[in-house]
Structures are given as C-alpha cells and as structure tokens.
Structure 1
Amino acid sequence: MGPRSTLFPVKHVIALDVGGTGMKAALIGADGELLHRARRPTGRDRGPEAVVAGILDFAAELRAHGIDRHGEAAVAAGVAVPGIVDEARGVAVHAVNLGWRDVPLRALLTERLGGIPVALGHDVRTGGLAEGRIGAGRGADRFLFVPLGTGIAGAIGIDGRVEAGAHGFAGEIGHIVVRPGGAPCPCGQRGCLERYASAAAVSEAWAAACGDPGADAADCAKAVESGDARARQVWQEAVDALADGLVTALTLLDPRALIIGGGLAEAGETLFTPLREAVRRRVTFQKLPTLVPATLGDTAGCLGAGLLARDLIDGTTGPTGPTDPTDPTDPTDPSEVTT
C-alpha cells in the first residue's frame, strides 16, 4: 500500500459486505480505486452479538488502516448485509443465517467510526447497484439483477438507484409463483421460482435424477455439456421456470437489461443460450431486453457498499431512498441495541 503520507491525504470510504460465513471489505478512493482489501470470517457460530461486535471491530480496523496508510480517516462507510433490511432507518430487521432481529447497525457503526455518515444496504440490492452502475448494466437506465444462488432474489435498478419498495421487499422475484400448486416453499407458498431455478433446486433435482446425493448444479451443467439426456431434462425444466419468472418481471418492469449472476450463471452459455431462447419464445408485445451475465462476481456487494458510501458524501439520494444518518425521524439509538 505504500508508506503513510500526511502531506497528501487520500479521501476514501469504507466498504463492507457481510455474508453468512465471511466478510469482504475495502477502502475505496474518490476515483473508485481499491486502496485496500481484506477478508475475515463472519463468526456466526459465536452468536449474533459476536457477529455485530466483529463487524464493528472490523470497521474500526479499516478506519485505523486508512489513517495510518492514507493520512486521514474514511469520510463515509457503506455496509451490505443479508436478510430483511430497513435501509431508510439503517436497521438490520431480520437475518435468519446471522440470528439478527432489529439491529440498529447504522447507528452502531456511526458511533464506532467517529460520527461519519454510514449507509446500510441489502446484500442483493447493493450488489445489483454495483452491477448496474459499473458492471454488466453500465449505461442501462433500467435493469433487473437476478442472482441464482441457494435462493433467488432480485434488484430493480432505475436511473442509477435500486428500488427497495415501501416495505423493503422489492425485487423478490424468487417468490413469484411459476408452478401453481407445486413444490412447497419455506415462504409458505407453493411453486415459487426459487424452488425450480435456483442453484440449490437444480442440485436437488439432479442428485435425485442421477442417484448421487452429492451431485450439484455444476455437475448437472457438465452433464448437459456432455449430452446426458437426464441432465438436459433437469436443466431445461429449470430454464423454463426461470424464463417464466423473468418474463413476468419484465412485463411489470420493462427493464433495458436483465443481468443474471450467482452460482448457476457460472455455467456460461450452457445457461444463457437456452435461457435467451426461452425468454424470446415467451415475449409477445413486450420489448426484449438484453440478457447478460453479471461481471463483478463476489466483489459486487463490496463495490456496491462503496457506492452507497460515496452517494452519502456526494449528496445524492441513496440507492433505495434517503439514508441520512442524522434523520430526526429515526427512532433507533445506539444505546438501545438488541440482538
């Protein structure tokens, strides 16, 4: 990183992406330059309080690193977390995999980081923000980002921001019902898209079809490429379900670009060639958007968190609504934390 320079301090922001098992972080300069990157385990096995403490400690270490190496403290911070997030109030409402309930994470981080502005974002929407502004959707005024992982979520991009919705649920395309009366979903419905087209769903279907309980979606993709008829059937069923969900979404949202990411997208054209064709067959009056793979990979969340932070100091509206940490209507208080 080079020696510390107090003659030429570097303005930068802290970016932190908190996952179920690991945290990715960066210090990002005003021009988008990555000044420093770091990773560490989330430590969820130690309980929700320990996870919060770990996030605060990690952020404080990043702040200290910035002072030591770049001559001044970070001017803002952005944090992406999983689960249900109230971005306007800066509260992590609920995250099953971290055991959180109503954690006022923005207020806690603001206090720990010396009062700098802090933005809190949902992990998928934050990753979508990065893909839309600086990744695969760059230049598109309206886009839909859909990562296909253990589940399926989505981020709706409009004019450089990502829509959260009135209650924080905007973009949950994985719970569009594509097979009425079909497989039960943990959300309480039957036939949800993520029960048919997520990486987890394809893994489950292929393991049953090939008789190998350890087989996964990547194995299915390889079998498709080798011409296995059973794999092709499993894969096509997933592609058809995904196309049904995407066409429903594009009918409602009319995006200019559909950006597909997550583990299933790593299959490349094994996924994208039949998916483009399946979507094309389903559209009638709708305008067909470009359908492209995500380009930022697992850095999207961290880069998006940096964009959230940069928006705060640039005076722009946050990607999912106002994110002013000094909002007098914000009822949370750092002294009232509960996890």
Structure 2
Amino acid sequence: MRHVIALDVGGTGMKAALVGADGTLLHEARRPTGRDRGADAVVESILDFAAALRAHGIAHFGEPAAAAGVAVPGIVDAERGIAVYAANLGWSDVPLRDLLSARLEGVPVALGHDVRTGGLAEGRIGAGKGADRFLFVPLGTGIAGAIGIGGAIEPGAHGSAGEIGHIVVRPDGPPCGCGQRGCLERLASASAVSKAWAEASGDPEADAADCAKAVESGDPRAEEVWRNAVDALADGLLTALTLLDPHTLIIGGGLAEAGETLFTPLRAAVAARIVQFQTLPEIVPAALGDTAGCLGAGLLAWDLVDRKTATTPTDTAPTDTTPTDTAPSPTTPTDTDPTEVST
C-alpha cells in the first residue's frame, strides 16, 4: 500500500503517522524528543523514529514510504532543508533533510516550519478549507502565524513570514527574548496568560486553562487577566489583517481550547477596532488540534511525490497519486502502535 511518513517534532514530543494516498492514517505513533540529552540526541531521536516508521511500513504494507515530510520548530530554511535554529531543541544549522533522506535510504524528504506546516493542513483540510486567503495563528507557548494564499503557505523571502508574535503591541510592556518589549506573545500567548494568572491568583501552579475556568465562574481577577490578553491579541490581529486582508482568521493552540470564552470577546474586540477601509474577517477556531502539524507534514510529503511524478517522463498516466489541488482528508487510523510513549 503506497504511503508517506509524516513527522511533527515538538519541544518535548514527536507525533508521527504513515499516511495513505487518500489521506488515511494507516499508523500513528508518538515518542519523546529527548531534548534533555542535548541537541545531537534530539537529531538522533528524529532519525531513529523515522527509520522505525519506514520499517513499520515495509513490514505492514509491503513497501517503503514514497516520501517523508517533517515539521520542526524554530527558524527553518525549507528550500535548503536546514533546521537553522531552535532554542527549545538546542540546535543550529542542522541539515535535517539530508540526514533523514540518508537514514531512510534515499527517500525524498520535505522539511517545513511547524506552524506553517500546521497552517497548510488547516488551509487544505481544516478550518481554512475553501478560503483563498487566510491567517492561521496558534496561541501556545509562543505565538506565530501561517499566511495562506491560493492554497499555499507564504514562507517569506527569508523563511520568517508570519511571525506575528513579535509584533509590538505594548511598547512599554515586558521584555521579550527577541530583544524588543511588549511583543504580542509576551502578553497573549497561553504561557503569558498562565504567568499572569499565577501571579494574580497567588497560585504558582495555575495556568491559562485555570484562568479560563475562573473567568467562566465570574472571578474578577481572572476577568482582568483575560481582558488584558484579549485586548493585546486584538491589537496584534488588527495589524495582521490590515496588512494581509484575509478572508478567514483561524485561531488555534492551547488558548483556543477555551472556546467561546476566548472567541466571543475576541471577535467583539477585533470588530471594535475595525475602521472604514478594513473588512472584518471570519474568526474561527482551528479544526485539527494538535494533529495539524503531523497532517501538514503528510501533505508536504505527498506534494513531493506529486512533483516527482509530474517531472518523470512516462508513456502512461500515473494511477496512484494524489493531485496537489485535491486535499486528502484525515480518517480514522487503521493501525496504531500502543508501545510508543505518549507525550
């Protein structure tokens, strides 16, 4: 059965799947990243996981994967296949595409940025399906963005398009690791809300989910923390929609799990900031949750297969490929590996 390897590398864990040509998840697995053992160990963990996925495909589906797609955090040079920098993983200038292709015995590999790869999945098969121009913004430990235009994700001239988390929304705000003050992600990310609520509540273990619950119960301290975060987020999103004019604004990540506790005030705050020449986009929750990166990696891999097929001379039409303008839809996995470690 023809399939590809999809691998989403996070700061602490990796999610992976073998994906069929029709989008079926044939096998799913998770492993820890192992970042506590250092950058070299992280790379080796990725290579070992990919090799195990390849072996599983051969054993269960009778052939090796046709391609592999991998999504990683940090700064990514997708064109050259290099993981340029990732603070959480401790690496710099890792030629990950070539390393993976060698470990997979020559299988072609596509490397992508985690948020842009997740945005690709949301655009093709998730909340942005059918929108020719959208912005995907996951609110997690930090905040980044993926700009979807005409079915593709815009990487930018230097591979850093969509870094909305470093728009300054409060010039006198808290310092950011990027060197600025008052960056959006220092005020409206899930980690920022967790920090603010832990201080306001006096509970060092409290997090953003606890803050959302307290908002729902009418706690005025939580309401102030939440309002400050929503206002900062609305200011950052206003800048983005002024520049990009998207049809759809997709909000994901941990903070979006608060549902209407977030979306009702956020829609109102953005609408209140719109002026005459601007158009209010549809603001919707992400549809794919924490599977977006993995599903997007699978799409990157199938795109590689399609391009290879399109450039290979043949006298007959290929019979088992997925055209790039037809998005495979995720379906219930047919095989899972209970021995993998959940993260």
Is structure 2 residue 36 aligned with structure 1 residue 70?
A: no
Match of 1:88 in 2: 79
Matches within 5 A, 1:218-297: 218-284=209-275, 285-297=277-289
Q: Deviations over 1:184-237 (max 9, x none)?
A: 111100111111111111111112212222211111111111111111111111
2:77 partner letter = D
Identity %: 80
1:290 partner letter = E
Mapped partners of 2:122, 2:180: distance in 1: 30
Q: Deviations over 1:142-197 (max 9, x none)?
A: 11010111111111111111111111111000000111122111110011111111
Matches within 5 A, 1:1-339: 10-284=1-275, 285-315=277-307
Q: Secondary structure at the match of 1:315?
A: helix
Mapped partners of 1:85, 1:147: distance in 2: 18
Normalising by structure 1, we get a TM-score of 0.89
Normalising by structure 2, we get a TM-score of 0.88
Q: Deviations over 1:20-42 (max 9, x none)?
A: 11111100000000000111111
Structure of greater relative contact order (alpha carbons < 8 Å, 6+ residues apart) = 2
Mapped partners of 1:213, 1:54: distance in 2: 33
Mapped partners of 1:51, 1:275: distance in 2: 37
Q: Deviations over 1:249-307 (max 9, x none)?
A: 00000111100011110100000000000011111121111100011111111000000
Task: Give how far 1:134 is off.
Answer: 0.5
Mapped partners of 2:244, 2:225: distance in 1: 29
Mapped partners of 2:20, 2:289: distance in 1: 21
Task: Give how far 1:46 is off.
Answer: 1.5
Mapped partners of 2:195, 2:32: distance in 1: 27
Mapped partners of 2:205, 2:102: distance in 1: 46
**Structure 2 portions without partners, runs of 5+:** 311-343
Mapped partners of 1:122, 1:53: distance in 2: 19
1:71 partner letter = G
Q: Which 4+ runs in 1 deviate beyond 6 A?
A: none
Mapped partners of 1:233, 1:55: distance in 2: 42
1:186 partner letter = G
For the aligned residues, what is the CA RMSD? Answer: 1.2
Mapped partners of 1:315, 1:158: distance in 2: 20
Mapped partners of 2:140, 2:109: distance in 1: 28
**Structure 1 portions without partners, runs of 5+:** 1-9, 318-339
Mapped partners of 1:130, 1:181: distance in 2: 36
Match of 1:327 in 2: none
Mapped partners of 1:211, 1:29: distance in 2: 49
Mapped partners of 2:38, 2:171: distance in 1: 38
1:24 partner letter = K
Q: Secondary structure at the match of 2:177?
A: coil
Aligned positions, number? 308
Task: Give how far 1:115 is off.
Answer: 1.3
